[in-house]
Structure 1
């Protein structure tokens, strides 16, 4: 059976990864689980002590985080966890939806038994992770699943543009996934996309891929609304009788 790319990477023991790759994974988990918050500075000294490592591999890991859109380097100030405004996020979702829809349209003409088998391996893996509520692991598999879909569409220009938008949306997408039921809903839509791509109907695939991102945008908006309501309740003064 052909294995999807993530299986090779995820099944490697941490000891087999380079030190900078190990540190990158640890930092990703701290960011995606909220321990390192948007706008927070990645303090090299504190992190090197925490992980028991020198600053060289740590700097490389931080550079990789910047390349993936999870952090940003500010000249003469350091590296910070990336922040993104809701307005910017909504605009990015709109462009990503159009690009992803195009990927679905193109993929329909290129899909074969090998690609389809790999996609089902991804679906099974993410279903297992969703049941375990393994959010960081699911998120990584989710990213690789979407990347595999776009790569399989066979358009290099599309892949480059897609990555430029996806990297800037990482933190928004994680917040949606950790919301109640986010993992299972996400993977049900993944299965719909695979079915659409395998149907041979370009228009159906384009619409299904586009709708997946639009739904994610709506879930992100709902997540923001819930967070705002929670903040309002927390900040409300206590009424004394």
Structure 2
């Protein structure tokens, strides 16, 4: 018979938390990869069976995913992969554009030659993936590129909030990734790196801002049947605010 003790209880709790974290990471991966679509219902029993774990860690993983904004829990109905409304996504793009502008300006002042070379290598990888029509490799390199920019900026609080926004946008923006747009994204990334390497803070910030707002417009075009006539006006207003 196992005797309970504070140490044994602490070890059991640590193991449970660690397992819940692994379950969280795998379910998050499936959501962001599109294997679990927005609106899909998630059940503790099915996920536990699929991952070969008990239901306790799955329940805790669902709680963490809810806090991260990737799933929603409905009383008496269950847990569902969250669907981001178009209006909310457009607002997230606008917030992200201002954050990206800050990153571009900061890195133009602090990035070393070696760090710039590493960023160019990621853009080269995106070019190769785009020419091959390989969306999976492109998406992976794209995420690594932006995450590298975040790490180089060196602000932990900023990084945590930015990553949450990126994950939320991943729930809606997969239609943006086509062979044509991959080429455009890679070209925009190369302009960003060029400005950073030239230590032109204004150009780097502007390139980052425009990159995100271009993605916003593509999302609006892909997901909404409404005219996009209001987009340029809002974009000019944002740019004016950002440059003030």
CA 1:127–1:212 in 2, change beyond 3 Å: closer, same or farther? same
Q: Distance in 1 between matches of 2:82 and 2:202?
A: 36
Quote how far apart the aligned CAs of 1:77 are.
4.9
Aligned to 1:114: 114
Greater alpha carbon shift after TM alignment, 60-69 vs 74-83: 60-69
Quote how far apart the aligned CAs of 1:39 are.
2.0
CA 1:118–1:220 in 2, change beyond 3 Å: closer, same or farther? same
Q: Gapped runs of 5+ residues in structure 2?
A: 1-17, 226-244
Contact 2:68 2:164 in 1 (8 A): no
| 2:206 equivalent to 1:210 | no
Quote how far apart the aligned CAs of 1:54 are.
3.7
| 2:146 equivalent to 1:146 | yes
Aligned to 2:180: 181
Quote how far apart the aligned CAs of 1:33 are.
5.4
In the superposition, the TM-score normalised over structure 2's length comes to: 0.70
Contact 2:133 2:179 in 1 (8 A): no
Q: Distance in 2 between matches of 1:57 and 1:131?
A: 42
Q: Distance in 2 between matches of 1:140 and 1:24?
A: 19
Q: Deviations over 1:70-110 (max 9, x none)?
A: 33445665432111111111111111101101110111000
Higher Rg of the two aligned structures: 2
Aligned to 2:12: none
Quote how far apart the aligned CAs of 1:211 are.
0.3
Aligned to 2:79: 79
Work out the number of aligned pairs and report it: 209
Q: Gapped runs of 5+ residues in structure 1?
A: 1-17, 227-241
Q: Deviations over 1:152-194 (max 9, x none)?
A: 12344533443343232221233312x4523222222111111
* SS of aligned partner of 2:186: helix
Quote how far apart the aligned CAs of 1:37 are.
2.2
Aligned to 1:162: 162
* SS of aligned partner of 1:181: helix
Q: Deviations over 1:106-126 (max 9, x none)?
A: 110001022112212322333
Q: Distance in 1 between matches of 2:141 and 2:21?
A: 16
| 2:158 equivalent to 1:135 | no
